[in-house]
Chain A
């Protein structure tokens, strides 16, 4: 089966001389949720714009379900729905009119039932006769999603879908995306909210300075790069770590009130659970008591920051 998107050696240099993308290779499989992460100006939007036909590439090829975006642009573009970052809309049109317009524009015959399904799934049905200018920001964002879904695309691009959206609406948006995936739609989202990628994505690509730095399954990425920390809160502070505990990766914090053990998250499933049982029994032998403990796994954000920093 053809991948949903295949990007091959894609480059984009704008007329200003700015190199937004350099030799990007990327394959996105059909049916997955792919999150493209990167700081502002990394090239996320340019990459999406090239795939969707908004920006002309200066080198390389892109195909959508096997259709080249230049030579076979009709087949390629009709498979894609794009939800842009900016909340742009025809202020004086109604929700119904603007969503129906999108369906026609993408070459589909009118289908009021489909439009109704889309509007209902995005809880826009009650607003169908409202002019866009009267809608709240969150509703406008939904209208943009409805427009992108009007022609039943196989692939949906969400460019920063939850930028400037409140927490509740963000969760709703995630729900919508998950439902879409269940219907078989491939979803590519860009974000700089790590939380979002962590919550949603099957795979994550990190883009930085126009280059793809890494593409990995989310779980594996977090396992590979994630370290865990166990923090023990001590009722009586330690001045230094007793020599009997030298075999463990320990450090003292909070003026001796905290003992921090760093270990690899991947080892937890191993036989002695990353050395935690041994550590605890060694602590007991050394006569160190603790009143509380907590563990913390590094988030994608930590991973992301260390990746981007590592390249600077």
Chain B
């Protein structure tokens, strides 16, 4: 195992985050805080509680999820897309590192950043809304698994995309709508019956629900279903990454 190689990739990705602190950390934390201010403090007080949870606090897990998903995907995709785009990927491909080590370095760094971001947003939320976390360990598990899974997805998108437009396509056109419609701002039983059924096909519902369960002990779907969904997603992404490296897809002609 080339641990020095993994370390080099990981540290250089983290250095990139430090160089772009405003864009990669400050801006997502700030923009999420705006939701807490508006929905938590301003409007939230006029909305009745959901499942016994104050509305401002109710939306916190979903909003963290929203940021976690979009940031993991965009950060991890950019991390591998840019070397491909600029040509510096030649070095990675000619180095004695296995595909597993490459993924560990890039995805590990992207996931680390997302977890830090998630915790920062959580801490910020504490200033605006009455927060409580019933199952902190489970919360951390969900946070880490989601960060990891969607960083993997981002890595895949970064390899697949040939241009900046494709890079933005999935975060903007798939992940953001699915998260908004995935129960971030409402409980699913507030929807008309038909939409309740349709919503269950949205995988993000399971992530938001499981994450919210770890906070307040209530969710739209069972905890087991949530865990199963995130693990299924993780497995799918791992299989796809494995296929990419075995076939050389868009990396080694």
Contacts and interface: CB of A to CB of B under 8 A. Distances in A.
Interface of A: 14-15, 52-56, 73-78, 80, 82, 84, 86, 88-93, 97, 100-110, 147
Contact of A54 (B7, B86, B97, B252): B252
B36 to A, nearest CB: 33
Contacts of B94: 52-54, 77, 80, 82
B95 interface: yes
Given A92-B19, A104-B5, A105-B5, A84 B96 contact: no
A107 B253 contact: no
Interface in B77-116: 83, 86-88, 90-98
B4 A14 contact: no
B151 to A, nearest CB: 20
Contacts of B9: 105
A53 B93 contact: yes
A58 to B, nearest CB: 10
A88 B253 contact: no
A14 B87 CA distance: 19
B8 A105 contact: yes
Nearest to A73: B96
B8 A90 contact: no
A92 to B, nearest CB: 6
A111 B96 CA distance: 18
Contact of A88 (B4, B86, B98): B86
B12 interface: yes
B5 A55 contact: no
Contact of A105 (B15, B95, B248, B252): B95
B88 A55 contact: no
Interface string B237-253: 00000000000100011
Given A92-B19, A105-B95, 14 more contacts: A53-B252, A54-B90, A54-B94, A54-B252, A55-B252, A55-B253, A74-B96, A75-B96, A89-B88, A90-B83, A101-B8, A103-B4, A104-B4, A106-B5
A169 to B, nearest CB: 21
Contacts of B8: 100-105
A84 B89 CA distance: 11
B5 A107 contact: yes
B2 A74 contact: yes
15 contacts: A53-B94, A54-B94, A56-B248, A82-B91, A82-B94, A84-B87, A89-B86, A97-B15, A102-B91, A103-B8, A104-B7, A104-B8, A104-B11, A107-B97, A147-B91
A93 B83 CA distance: 13
Nearest to B2: A107
Nearest to A88: B87
Contact of B91 (A55, A105, A110): A105
Interface residues of B, number: 26
Q: Which of A52, A75, A93, A104 has the most CB of B within 10 A?
A: A104
Nearest to A144: B91
B157 to A, nearest CB: 21
B96 A109 contact: no
Interface string B218-253: 000000000000000000000000000000100011
A89 B94 CA distance: 15
Interface string B1-40: 0101101110110010001000000000000000000000
A53 B90 CA distance: 9
Contacts of B15: 93, 97
Given A84-B87, A101-B12, A54 B96 contact: no
Given A56-B253, A101-B8, A77 B90 contact: no
Contacts of B4: 103-110
Contacts of A54: 90, 93-94, 252
A249 to B, nearest CB: 51
Q: Which of A54, A103, A105 has the most CB of B within 10 A?
A: A105
A56 B249 CA distance: 11
A52 B90 CA distance: 9
Contacts of A77: 94-96
Contacts of A75: 96
Nearest to B20: A92
A90 B88 contact: yes
Nearest to B94: A52
Nearest to A79: B96
A297 to B, nearest CB: 38
A103 B8 CA distance: 8
